[in-house]
Chain A
Amino acid sequence: MIEVNDIYKSFGDTHVLKGISTCFDKGKTNLVIGQSGSGKTVFLKCLLGLLSPDKGTISHDGKIYSQLSGDEQRNLKQEMGMVFQGSALFDSLTVEGNVMFPLEMFTKQSLSEMQDRVDFVLKRVNLVDAHKKYPSEISGGMQKRVAIARAIVMNPKYLFCDEPNSGLDPKTAILIDNLIQEITQEYDITTVVNTHDMNSVMEIGEKIIFLKNGIKEWEGTKNEIFKTDNEAVTNFVYSSELFKKVRQMYIEERN
């Protein structure tokens, strides 16, 4: 469980986060949605400890991040997996090397054990024939999947994904969403996913927080989001023609 208590973050005069409090439960896929530039990435980086909030606290299962020593922070980070918005794969390593990297770094496993684990997670994300390729030689969607494989290879307690399915075709996107949800439930981990994809919201939104202008405008579940009267949320959710139609049908059906 991750508890966020009234965090603020500014870059110079740009006030990005202006007092956000919320709580993300274990075993659930928690989504953070909001327009481009609303501060989702900054928020996620605060949860990861890559950025430190100017004010407020974040605690991971009761451990308040800012009060931990440097070594304790690093130990906690080893329990986190992160999928960056741009994948952030290491250019100098192959797909296999990227996924194996955390294992080589932090475990005492033998090469064959590591190899088995890498094969397992790469299969899990539906990548079976790219082991020896370099990141620059595979498509953006494949890079995303490698990034997910790398994030889960150590069996993290916390999984963070920054727009894991942007740039993927709808089918692969749903596959990735489901994968994230399955992993979350199977290993009972705390997962936070940034997205602005309404399909993801419908698919896996067990808890959703909506950010707007640096504050938490709304929070609820995927069932609640379609019934809310909050104008900012409905404007965001129903921005596409498809969803406008869906809403109209829903209203007609109700009357």
Chain B
Amino acid sequence: MNYLASIGSYAIMIKEVFRKPTKWSIMRALILKEIDELIFGSLGILIFISFFIGGVVAIQTALNMTNELIPKNLVGFATRQSIILEFAPTFCSIIMAGKVGSFITSSIGTMRVTEQIDALEVMGVNALNYLVFPKIIALMLYPFLIAISMYVGILGGWIAGVFGGFSTSADFIEGIQLDFIPFHVTYSFIKTLVFAFILATIPSYHGFFMKGGALEVGKAATTSFVWTSVVIIILNYLLTQLLLG
């Protein structure tokens, strides 16, 4: 029952975000600031994680190829498939739910408990549009991050595979070109865009509607991480069924 009410108020919130827009000159500055914080601010951690996970995927695949009949190019192939289909879009989004999501919840939540949101509303500002809209727009650039993550992940696989002695460079390159289906990349970016919207809005919801003081801000950030991840995992399943099934 409670969940239904939350879904309802989440939907109302989304509608409100797009009503009575803030003046463009102000909004532009807000969007640029959010791009800097949410997108560029996450670049480092995503590159770091993608690189090493890509390496581990390549090593794991190689170690499990004990049968002589399996073609050598499988290492590259498996690395590419797992990075493009799942690791980059989904795994990175869970990381982002922790990094960007809890940042969004705690910054909006702090504004709520210190009455800054009330102050906005008293002035007649549509606080939801002012706070959430620029985050949604900024995160529409999230697919670029994921594209970089895919590239770095495969690069990590190549380095670990070749320099670890698990595969030759030629085999690996052949593997990543084998049976390439461009739609898999499209599928990944569709997922990423949906996750970007979730990453911007669910943490905002938890921050905006929180009650209480500083302690509750911390709790709200945790709850927000849990729900953002759960929703991403469920949508991942549904979208995969829908687009590839």
Contact = CB atoms under 8 A, between A and B. Distances in A.
Contacts, number: 52
Nearest to B26: A104
Interface string B13-32: 00000001011011000000
A74 interface: yes
A50 B22 contact: no
B118 A50 contact: yes
Nearest to B19: A70
A89 B25 CA distance: 21
A159 B93 CA distance: 46
A91 B123 contact: no
B116 A78 contact: no
Contacts of B121: 50, 77
Contacts of B125: 105
B1 interface: no
Contacts of A84: 115, 118-119
Contacts of B212: none
A82 B116 contact: no
A143 B190 CA distance: 46
A48 B122 contact: yes
B124 interface: yes
Given A84-B115, A88-B114, A91-B116, A77 B23 contact: no
Contacts of B119: 82, 84, 88-90
Residue among B23, B25, B123 with most chain A CB within 10 A: B123
B115 to A, nearest CB: 4
A74 B122 contact: no
Contact of A77 (B25, B111, B116, B122): B122
B86 to A, nearest CB: 36
B124 A106 contact: yes
Contact of B23 (A82, A91, A104): A104
Contacts of B124: 74-78, 106
A152 interface: no
A50 B116 contact: no
Interface string B112-140: 00111011011111100000000000000
Interface of A: 45, 48, 50, 71, 74-78, 80, 82, 84-86, 88-91, 101-102, 104-106
21 contacts: A50-B122, A71-B20, A74-B124, A75-B124, A76-B124, A77-B123, A77-B124, A82-B119, A84-B115, A84-B118, A84-B119, A89-B116, A90-B116, A90-B119, A91-B111, A91-B116, A102-B123, A104-B25, A105-B26, A105-B123, A106-B124
Interface of B: 20, 22-23, 25-26, 110-111, 114-116, 118-119, 121-126
